[in-house]
Structure 1
Amino acid sequence: MSTATLPATADGAVAPPEPGLTREEVVRRAEALAGTLVDRQAETEERTFYAPDTHEAFARAGLYRILVPRRYGGHEFGVETFMRVAQALGRGCPSTGWMYTLGAAHALAVASLFEESAQEEIFAGGDFISPATITPTGRARRAPEGGWIIDGTFPYCSGAPYATHFIGHTTIEDEDGGEPRLLLFIAPRDQWTLVDDWGRQLGLKGSGSHSVRFEGGRIPDHFALEDTHLSEVDVTRGTPGLRLHGNPEYGGGPLSSMLLESASLAVGMAQGALDAYEELMRSRTTIFTQVVRAEDPDYQLWYGQAAGMIATAEAAVHEAARQWSLTCAEGPGAFTREKDLRLATVCREVIKLAWHAVEGHLFPTAGSSSVRSGQRIERIWRDMSTLHSHAGIGVLLPSVATREYARVRFGVAEGGDA
């Protein structure tokens, strides 16, 4: 639905389709929708993205407007609500949860980093879906009439099949032969094409993480930020979004907000595995004694260990999201790089706990018939394994970000000199 058809509020902002929708209700809707996703996981993997009717159900439920500013017809419910929705959907279907989350989450970045003129155009449709990649790809050159021309193929664009936009990083061609510079940009859907190259991976086969290709894509100046990387923005002096909307969460730490997404999804996936294991506990018997697994001391131990780890991970990610919001509320100067990185390390531990619960306790003891191809625990194991192959989660977070946190904490330069 276009915001042009929506009524305006007293202050001139665009009213959302459901002005009375609450945070609690949108989470309840997501949990209800998650229950419908379990039996559709196989078809989602086959299609490589969730179904059109699921997409329409998400739109009707208001899920694509959770982080969109109120003045543009969004709900502006904030990070804590969004992460609970991500967790719920990941519990029902990891691929669907991943695709939704990494598409809808970046409304927060746009509403934080871009000026009003850009936001008015970007959020004009109300619903907002935009994959974002952090690895600089392709090239940008100045267009004769102004703005930028983008060329290149950008891989791993989760959420691309239903995307309204795409956020990427590229390098600016230097006509004088100097060092290339970084360009962060957002491109409307009509400036790029979807590449049919997803679905052959180990897991997250239905996450819609296709590549997108630019062949002379045109980007206006106000849709681009020079010398800027999404994960390294300094927000301590305030952001355009904070000044425009007056909402502290449009001025929060960008790195930790992105990692909260992955951590929330990891918890949801692990909860889905525990749900499947619980069904086995109630319905299957042990090999030798032929008693129901729920009555067997060993299975009680394995279930209890995993359940405790997953509950701890859930508590930690909810608390991290709460701390993120509270730090935003303290004012721009509070969200230093150190605090951004500290919350990132919490997310690191959440992901580790969720993973170890599944691969250390649930998967090995579920039984070979329960981890055949297409079984729920088998699929979640594949999906969580693939989550760990993500460069940000498998490489940058446990190494680069961890070292950087210590350096920032102790005031040590990157080369080791104080």
Structure 2
Amino acid sequence: MLDKELIRQRLLQRARELVPVLRERAPQAARAGRLAEETLRDFHDAGFFRILQPARWDGYELEPQDFFEVQMTLAEGCMSSAWVLGVVAIHNWQLALFDDRAAQDVWGEDSSVLISSSYMPVGKVTRVEDGFRLSGRWGFSSGSQHCQWAFLGAMVPPAEPGGAPDYRTFLVPRHDYSVLANWDVMGLEATGSHDVLVEDAFVPEYRTHRSIDGFMQNSPGNAVNTAPLFRIPFGQIFVRAVSSSTIGALQGAIDLFGEVNRQRVGVNDGRKIVQDPGAQTALANAMVTVDECKTVLLRNFALMMQRARDGQPLTMAERVKMRYDSAIVPDKCAQAVAALMYNSGAASIFREHGLNRAFRDIHTGRAHVANCPGKYALNLGAVSMGQDSSDFFL
């Protein structure tokens, strides 16, 4: 029997120990366009990828709050590293929702095998006996060079004329796709979020996961993975994987801002930065932003898990609100880190400056489609006034 509290403490301690290590590795990882192999080994050795993995496949089956505490901590040192962990480790949770034969394919010989993804629904699908033929090119597959399988999104055409298309995640092995190295960006450089190309690969039915099953919290994998952890909505946990690292990156920027400016004196006017109202305000607002964003995240997942344990699903209104709670985080963090950078003097314009890196990483994370809060704000407002939800990735 796993002592989960001891595991939680050990994971958080190891994450905290890795913060300065990741900060030191960040410049080289950015230049290489991928995480250092030492970082992947550190994450594997620490057990970070297993936090939400099913116990029957050597996972810890901890709660989302535990996972995101680790991710946010690691992001204080390197947001790219935390981003890759967030996205890739969430796949170990989603695989538990598939028919169990899919998990056997991936983890049957090695339960440490990793999965990358691109959920954009661009795949071309043809129905064939026992499954599908899949082709397409997907973008933004973070950590793809470190993974042996990929989750890829596509709309399955209706089986009968006039039926509705069916969005699914397709699980594809490495020998059936190519990674096309094209990641040349302003931030999150080390995530290696390259394109993935599939040319007419066969995907058996059992290696697909229907979005509607995830939405209804009644997936094939729930027959064997019965913990409440696997009864929370996929849409809620995945979006946090691409927003929550901005909270940790902002905290890292706050720490660096204090360290850099505590003794700094303006070259032009000789004034101490600690006495500058602009610097004081920027720091105060950033600190409050971290506290607010982290508090809401942990509160929401605590509610989700309690509902899952009680067998009571979230209401649509709650899902819509939580969806917006996630989307607004990177926007708030981007505004806060911009103010910190603007109040750090001309030195912060250099690419290797820690605040410059945090600025670029957070703004790049903000560009993810799940982190653009506008449409989620409109949906929340509409639902709150009695309209139907226009979003079902909830």
Change (3 A) 1:45 1:286: same
Matched residue type, 1:127: S
Matches within 5 A, 1:148-297: 148-172=132-156, 181-198=166-183, 200-225=184-209, 228-229=210-211, 233-235=214-216, 238-287=218-267, 290=270, 292-296=272-276
Matched residue type, 2:12: V
Matched residue type, 1:286: G
Match of 1:369 in 2: 347
Partners of 2:4 and 2:294 in 1: CA distance: 30
Change (3 A) 1:143 1:93: same
Partners of 2:285 and 2:197 in 1: CA distance: 45
Q: Which has the higher strand share?
A: 2
Tell me whether 1:381 sits opposite 2:359 in the alignment: yes
Match of 1:12 in 2: none
Change (3 A) 1:19 1:269: closer
Secondary structure of the corresponding residue to residue 334 of structure 1: coil
Stretches of structure 2 lacking an aligned partner (at least 5 in a row):
none
Partners of 1:357 and 1:176 in 2: CA distance: 51
Matched residue type, 2:214: V
Contact conserved, 1:239 with 1:250, CA < 8 A, in 2?
A: no
Matched residue type, 1:234: F
- TM-aligned CA deviation for residue 375 of structure 1: 1.2
Stretches of structure 1 lacking an aligned partner (at least 5 in a row):
1-8, 10-15
The superposition leaves residues 86-128 of structure 1 with CA deviations (integer Å, 9 ceiling, x where unpaired) of: 11121111111112211111222221x2122323333332124
Matches within 5 A, 1:377-416: 377-394=355-372, 397-399=373-375, 401-413=376-388
Match of 1:6 in 2: none
Partners of 1:132 and 1:365 in 2: CA distance: 38
- TM-aligned CA deviation for residue 167 of structure 1: 0.9
- TM-aligned CA deviation for residue 174 of structure 1: 7.4
Secondary structure of the corresponding residue to residue 290 of structure 1: coil
- TM-aligned CA deviation for residue 224 of structure 1: 1.4
More deviation, 135-144/147-156: 135-144
Matches within 5 A, 1:113-128: 113-124=97-108, 125-128=110-113
Matches within 5 A, 1:107-118: 107-111=92-96, 113-118=97-102
The superposition leaves residues 46-104 of structure 1 with CA deviations (integer Å, 9 ceiling, x where unpaired) of: 11110111111111111111111001111111211111111112111111111221111
Tell me how large the CA RMSD over aligned residues is: 2.7
Matched residue type, 2:235: L
So what's the TM-score if we normalise by structure 1? 0.84
Matched residue type, 1:45: A
Tell me whether 1:73 sits opposite 2:53 in the alignment: no
The superposition leaves residues 156-190 of structure 1 with CA deviations (integer Å, 9 ceiling, x where unpaired) of: 01121111321111234679997865332111222
Partners of 1:350 and 1:251 in 2: CA distance: 24
Contact conserved, 1:170 with 1:183, CA < 8 A, in 2?
A: yes
Partners of 2:131 and 2:175 in 1: CA distance: 16
Change (3 A) 1:184 1:306: closer
Contact conserved, 1:68 with 1:126, CA < 8 A, in 2?
A: no
Matched residue type, 1:404: N
Match of 1:343 in 2: 322
**Number of residue pairs aligned between Structure 1 and Structure 2:** 388
Change (3 A) 1:355 1:223: same
Change (3 A) 1:189 1:34: farther
Partners of 1:321 and 1:283 in 2: CA distance: 40
